[in-house]
Amino acid sequence: MELRPSRQDIVAGVSVAVVLVPQSLAYAQLAGMPAYRGLFAAAIPPLVAAPFASSPYLQPGPTAVSALLTFGALSPLASVGSTRYMELGLLLALSSVSYGCSSDFSAPGSSLTCCRSRCSSGSCQPQPS
């Protein structure tokens, strides 16, 4: 098994980076976070998700809707840009991840492959094994 990336893999990686870097900076600002935090939000989820699942339809990382919902949820609780706002943002992100993981494992016969099959099939229900 050869582990060297092909030319197509390199072109795909550069293409995604060219789009994802400015997009993640903008979404972080939209959420009321410092722009550089968007780079973490763009890099960490795909690295964590890659060993568990792969899907052409699933794009882990920041989205416009999640940025707006984050801003809408946190702005009444703390002033934008404050330390408290950052803490609440981290808490919101961690609680979202823990909720998503717990819902994947609570269904009968579920596993991480259940998450992959749900995402790739476009449905919200676990696929039978």
Q: How many domains in the chain? A: 1
Q: Which residues are CB-neighbours of 5 under 8 A, at least 6 positions away?
A: 13
Give CA–CA dist 38/44, Å, rounded.
Answer: 10
Q: Is residue 126 part of a domain?
A: no
**Per-residue pLDDT reduced to its tens digit, 17-59:** 888 889 999 999 999 999 999 898 888 887 877 777 666 666 6
Domain encompassing residue 49: 7-121
Mean pLDDT over all residues of the chain?
A: 77
The dihedral over CA atoms of 98, 49, 91, 35, expressed in degrees to the nearest 10, equals -160
What's this model's pTM, rounded to 2 decimal places? 0.65
Q: Is residue 82 part of a domain?
A: yes
85 pLDDT more than 90: yes
Name the more confident of 92 and 61: 92
Q: Is residue 58 part of a domain?
A: yes
pLDDT at 75: 93
Q: Is residue 2 part of a domain?
A: no
Return the structure tokens found at 31: 């959420």
Q: Is residue 127 part of a domain?
A: no
